[in-house]
Chain A
Amino acid sequence: MFGKLYKWIDSRTGIQESLEEALYENIPGGSKWRYVSGSMLVFAFMTQAITGIFLWMNYSPGSQNAWASVYYITYNLEGGSLLRGIHHVMAQAMVCLLPIHILQVVIEKAYVKPREFNWWLGLVLMKITLALGLTGYLLPWDQKGYWATKVATELAALPPVIGGYLQKIVVGGQEYGHFTLTRFFALHAGVLPGLLVGFLVLHLAMFRKHGITSHSSEKRADQMFWPMQVLKDGIACALLFALVVYVAIIHPAELGPPAEPTEPYGAARPEWYFLFLFQMLKYFDGSMGWNNEFVGAIVFPAVLFGFMFLMPFIARIKIGHALNVLIIALTVGGAGYLTYEAVQEDNYNLNNPDDIDSAAYKKAAKFHAEVKRADTEFRLIDELVKDYGIPLEGPLALQQKDPYTMGLRLFRRQCASCHAYNATGENEYLAIAGPEIPATAEGPMGAPDLYGFGSPDWIKGLLSTGENGIEGAKYFGNTSHSEGEMIAHVRDTMWAEAESDEAKQNLVKMIEDVAWALSAEARLPYLDYAGNQDKIQAGIGHLNDDVLGCVGCHNYKENEFGYVFTLDNYASSEWLTTMIADPNQIYSEDLGTSNDRMPAFHSDATKLLTEDEIELLVRFLRQDRTLLGTASPEVNPLVDDASEQENTEEAAESTEENSEEDSDSEASESTDESSDEADEATDESSEEDSQESDAATR
């Protein structure tokens, strides 16, 4: 039955003859394991073509869509992580197989007469493969691919005269953008694979014409390509595929944070197989006049390539072949060494943990810090995408509204030269180290660690002594406050007077209550105020009765005898907004230890930060991740509001004034509020909260 069917198909198609033509190739000396490298490269390319086409079905070039679609492929698409993983790992396997294949051809002398053309075709195939790697690296449009590829295309501008034009043609214009991606994608998925297939057909045709290169000294009998060599090739390819799938599952292809032209990425490195070129450029530093970047990036590789092109002719002279083998071995070895060196340089800090003060250590440490920063940014955008999806404007639009992403960037840029943000626990990934604080007060400043600012824990520390308390680096550090009245009061009055253990325990309890009462002023969205009403109410009592001596200096509610800043609304969003915009509006001018040196970031005189940026920072410091443009959640720290009534009335009045000034939509709300204020105290204070955050948005 099958025999008949086969005969019928064969008689109409000639399939038998074609197969025999293709597979009955004589192999002098018989099949060998070492002949598999070429077939493995073909198989690797075939896998890339297939997985690439399926990736193509989900990929969208363009600066808003590229990252978003690769994110979808990697984290949402059914089987997408494996698909992209195989494509990613097989690309690297292909680059590993290339030098093996080349070395084999050179060592076995398969490049010499009469196989010159096949050798040249192989060189072209190598270039195409590397170009596929280079173009593919950009397509996810993440920070890593973007900045690494940017360096590569900057190099295109190096050749004299044509350089500038060349670069514009490659990039698709002056700047990176849609056209860079559409061009790279068309090259990566269309032009280069098409060329590769074309040259591969010629390469294989030449191979068939001249046959496999064998050495007559071998005594084994000849074999046909089918079936033994096919089986060996197949087994080798199957092992390769299994290995690639395994690696793709164990180490799925990474995706970095989305490409951002204005947010440089300090850990930009090319894909590892281009690291040797990256490393080599460091030596072409112009120190000897001729050895500039142009020579390193273009002339030197071109000379090497030219040499490889001429190798079949060089082999004709007596020691030519030996010279060729030597140079190729040196090239491969040199590339390997440069790669090793590049990796060592980046890991210097890990390998030499004691050499902290060296430039190499600092450079490597900075590299690792940048990698960590990129990981944090990716984690943040990942959460944003899961929460909100990606808007049409692309992932950057989402990031720019996110208090965590932007808060971290702004804090690093504007705050971290004095303040630390030593986040712990589940927020540890957000931590920013502050400046190093020297042993003496002279030197750079260490201002308070702002992680958890306004929380009961933070305030408890401020009211405690010792290294973890007000005397330590976490609070006043080396600012002038470290010798001010606050520290003197906490250390020399509050704690000094509590001599007995019982008095100390009592003080700890009172501090706990007061810390909660003060934190209630901050109305932080992440705290459980409802569950700590006892402490808050007790703390308010302590403060009003001035048990700890706070209101001797600070105003608080009705206690208006103080001469330094009021504790009302302490660490609330409007308090923080004012503090960042113009700290001298918070600090009293009357006291020597008032504002040490914090600059105004948005006053009449200075505009270091925009209002939006301050809003983002404030939300970040309050661990409030509500996106910019959306009202923060209402926090009402006092469940039973009776004692707050008078205070809220005042607040309601003041917000009403604000609303009129701003002529905003809340004007109607606050009118309602003032009419109802007598009987609806609880509702009022929550509305007041929302207005505060709205006010901050403005």
Chain B
Amino acid sequence: MSDTTNSSGGESRRGFFGSFSAWLAALVGAVLGVGPVCVGLYSFIMDPLREKTRPRKSRAEGSADANGFYRVASSDEISTDKPRRFTIVADKLDAWNFIENQALGAVYLQKNENGDISCFHTTCPHAGCSVAYEQDSNAYHCPCHNSSFKLDGSKLDVGGSTNPSPRPLDKLDVKVDDDNNVYIRYVDYYTGKHDKIEK
């Protein structure tokens, strides 16, 4: 052990951890240092992982039905010649706020010749940017890393450039009721993975 400091101390240096008291002091010190941090870290880590409950009297029409479907449009609003963008509107729980009629996300809807409706998530499966339909090429393009998709959602190769998306555009379930209301089962998927995995 080095003996650089003044050694007027009454007890001889027996090394840093040379006594039981030293070990005990280190232990108590460590516990004290960690204690308050643990209390804070518990909140920091556990709260985001917790299932949040909506207010007791929140209105039923402000959230998805039991199967996760949201009403987005009337089928009359959906065209056959090109996809149209629709916003999912519902009541949103954001930390302490509960806010009615908030945009949760967006989808592209299009009808085929038979009147069947297809629905695509606007989030690019590559890295989560928002894809947009472009009329010139009649395809979906992502503004970030050149991912492009045909109207059926499959990957499109554009003039020699690469298409980094690991999978086609994410298709969502569609339901139409007798009053022409179109419902979408709106879910988010993890991006960057080969398979569609719900968040």
**Across-interface contacts of B175 in A (CB, < 8 A):** none
Residue B97 at the A interface, CB < 8 A? yes
Bound CA span A451–B4, Å: 82
Supposing A68-B97, A78-B42 touch, asked if A241 and B32 sit within 8 A by C-beta, the answer is: yes
**Across-interface contacts of B187 in A (CB, < 8 A):** none
**Across-interface contacts of B99 in A (CB, < 8 A):** 391-392
**Across-interface contacts of A241 in B (CB, < 8 A):** 32, 35-36
Contact A20 B96 (CB under 8 A): no
Bound CA span A20–B46, Å: 39
Contact A388 B55 (CB under 8 A): yes
Residue B57 at the A interface, CB < 8 A? yes
Closest to A19 in B: B16
Residue B6 at the A interface, CB < 8 A? yes
Interface residues of B in 142-162 (CB under 8 A from A): none
Residue A51 at the B interface, CB < 8 A? yes
Nearest-Cβ distance from residue A441 to partner chain B, whole angstroms:
47
Supposing A20-B16, A386-B56 touch, asked if A78 and B32 sit within 8 A by C-beta, the answer is: no
Residue A221 at the B interface, CB < 8 A? yes
Bound CA span A302–B16, Å: 47
Contact B43 A83 (CB under 8 A): yes
Closest to B20 in A: A227
Closest to B18 in A: A227
Contact B50 A68 (CB under 8 A): no
Contact A30 B10 (CB under 8 A): yes
Contact B28 A80 (CB under 8 A): no
Nearest-Cβ distance from residue A351 to partner chain B, whole angstroms:
38
**Across-interface contacts of B57 in A (CB, < 8 A):** 387-388
Contact A389 B32 (CB under 8 A): no
Contact B5 A20 (CB under 8 A): yes
Interface string of B83-121 (1 = CB under 8 A from A): 000000000010111110000000000000000000000
Closest to A46 in B: B36
Contact A222 B39 (CB under 8 A): no
Q: Which one of A20, A54, A230, A386 lies within 8 Å of B39 (CB-CB)? A: A54
Interface string of A379-403 (1 = CB under 8 A from B): 0000001111111100000000000
Residue B194 at the A interface, CB < 8 A? no
Contact B19 A227 (CB under 8 A): yes
**Across-interface contacts of B37 in A (CB, < 8 A):** 50
Supposing A51-B40, A57-B44 touch, asked if A230 and B29 sit within 8 A by C-beta, the answer is: yes
Residue B177 at the A interface, CB < 8 A? no
Interface residues of B in 62-79 (CB under 8 A from A): none
Residue A516 at the B interface, CB < 8 A? no
Contact B43 A79 (CB under 8 A): yes
Residue B11 at the A interface, CB < 8 A? yes
Which of A72, A222, A226, A235 gathers most chain B CB within 10 Å? A226
Bound CA span A53–B6, Å: 39
Supposing A83-B39, A226-B25 touch, asked if A238 and B32 sit within 8 A by C-beta, the answer is: yes
Residue A234 at the B interface, CB < 8 A? yes
Supposing A69-B96, A71-B96 touch, asked if A223 and B32 sit within 8 A by C-beta, the answer is: no
Contact A224 B22 (CB under 8 A): no
Residue B2 at the A interface, CB < 8 A? yes
Residue B21 at the A interface, CB < 8 A? yes
Contact A79 B22 (CB under 8 A): no
Bound CA span A88–B114, Å: 66
Bound CA span A68–B22, Å: 47
Residue A82 at the B interface, CB < 8 A? yes
Contact B43 A80 (CB under 8 A): yes
Supposing A78-B42, A389-B58, A389-B97 touch, asked if A24 and B36 sit within 8 A by C-beta, the answer is: no
Bound CA span A80–B31, Å: 21
**Across-interface contacts of A16 in B (CB, < 8 A):** 2, 16
Q: Which one of A51, A78, A226, A391 lies within 8 Å of B47 (CB-CB)? A: A78
Supposing A17-B4, A20-B16 touch, asked if A389 and B98 sit within 8 A by C-beta, the answer is: yes
Nearest-Cβ distance from residue B48 to partner chain A, whole angstroms:
9
Closest to A627 in B: B57
Residue A58 at the B interface, CB < 8 A? yes
Contact B28 A227 (CB under 8 A): no
Contact B4 A50 (CB under 8 A): no
Contact B55 A386 (CB under 8 A): yes
Closest to B99 in A: A392
Contact B8 A222 (CB under 8 A): yes
Closest to A68 in B: B96
Closest to A53 in B: B40
Bound CA span A287–B127, Å: 74
Residue A231 at the B interface, CB < 8 A? yes
**Across-interface contacts of A223 in B (CB, < 8 A):** 9-11
Bound CA span A221–B11, Å: 8
Nearest-Cβ distance from residue A115 to partner chain B, whole angstroms:
20
Bound CA span A69–B94, Å: 11
Contact A24 B21 (CB under 8 A): no
**Across-interface contacts of A21 in B (CB, < 8 A):** 5
Contact A390 B40 (CB under 8 A): no
Bound CA span A387–B56, Å: 4
Residue A608 at the B interface, CB < 8 A? no
**Across-interface contacts of B54 in A (CB, < 8 A):** 389
Q: Which one of B47, B55, B95 lies within 8 Å of A69 (CB-CB)? A: B95
Contact B93 A389 (CB under 8 A): yes
Bound CA span A46–B10, Å: 31
Nearest-Cβ distance from residue A92 to partner chain B, whole angstroms:
16
Bound CA span A235–B39, Å: 20
**Across-interface contacts of A20 in B (CB, < 8 A):** 2, 4-5, 16
Supposing A390-B96, A392-B97 touch, asked if A234 and B9 sit within 8 A by C-beta, the answer is: no
Contact A238 B28 (CB under 8 A): yes
Contact A230 B16 (CB under 8 A): no
Bound CA span A17–B57, Å: 63
Q: Which one of A65, A77, A237 lies within 8 Å of B43 (CB-CB)? A: A77
Q: Which one of B2, B6, B24, B46 lies within 8 Å of A79 (CB-CB)? A: B46
Nearest-Cβ distance from residue B122 to partner chain A, whole angstroms:
25
Bound CA span A21–B3, Å: 10
Supposing A72-B95, A222-B9, A223-B11 touch, asked if A82 and B25 sit within 8 A by C-beta, the answer is: no
Residue A76 at the B interface, CB < 8 A? yes
Interface residues of A in 374-428 (CB under 8 A from B): 385-392
**Across-interface contacts of B46 in A (CB, < 8 A):** 78-79
Contact A78 B55 (CB under 8 A): no
Bound CA span A71–B97, Å: 11
Which of B2, B28, B36, B95 gathers most chain A CB within 10 Å? B36
Nearest-Cβ distance from residue B110 to partner chain A, whole angstroms:
34
**Across-interface contacts of B35 in A (CB, < 8 A):** 47, 241
Nearest-Cβ distance from residue B128 to partner chain A, whole angstroms:
24
**Across-interface contacts of A50 in B (CB, < 8 A):** 36-37, 40
Residue A43 at the B interface, CB < 8 A? yes
Contact A79 B8 (CB under 8 A): no
Q: Which one of B22, B39, B41 lies within 8 Å of A86 (CB-CB)? A: B39
Residue A26 at the B interface, CB < 8 A? yes
Closest to A237 in B: B32
Contact B43 A388 (CB under 8 A): no
**Across-interface contacts of A392 in B (CB, < 8 A):** 97, 99
Which of A57, A58, A79 gathers most chain B CB within 10 Å? A79
- Which residue numbers of A lie inside 8 Å of B, CB to CB? 16-17, 19-21, 24, 26, 30, 43, 46-47, 50-51, 53-54, 57-58, 65, 68-69, 71-72, 76-80, 82-83, 86, 221-224, 226-228, 230-231, 234-235, 237-238, 241, 385-392
Q: List 14 extra interface pairs beyond A72-B96, A228-B21, A390-B97, CB under 8 A.
A: A20-B2, A24-B5, A24-B9, A47-B35, A57-B43, A68-B97, A77-B47, A223-B9, A227-B24, A230-B25, A230-B29, A234-B32, A241-B32, A391-B99
- List, sorted by A's number, 12 A–B pairs whose CB atoms are closer than 8 Å: A26-B6, A53-B40, A54-B43, A77-B47, A78-B43, A79-B39, A222-B8, A222-B10, A224-B9, A234-B32, A241-B35, A387-B55
Which 9 residue pairs across A and B have the least CB separation, nearest first?
A: A389-B98, A54-B40, A221-B10, A234-B28, A227-B22, A231-B25, A389-B55, A72-B96, A68-B96
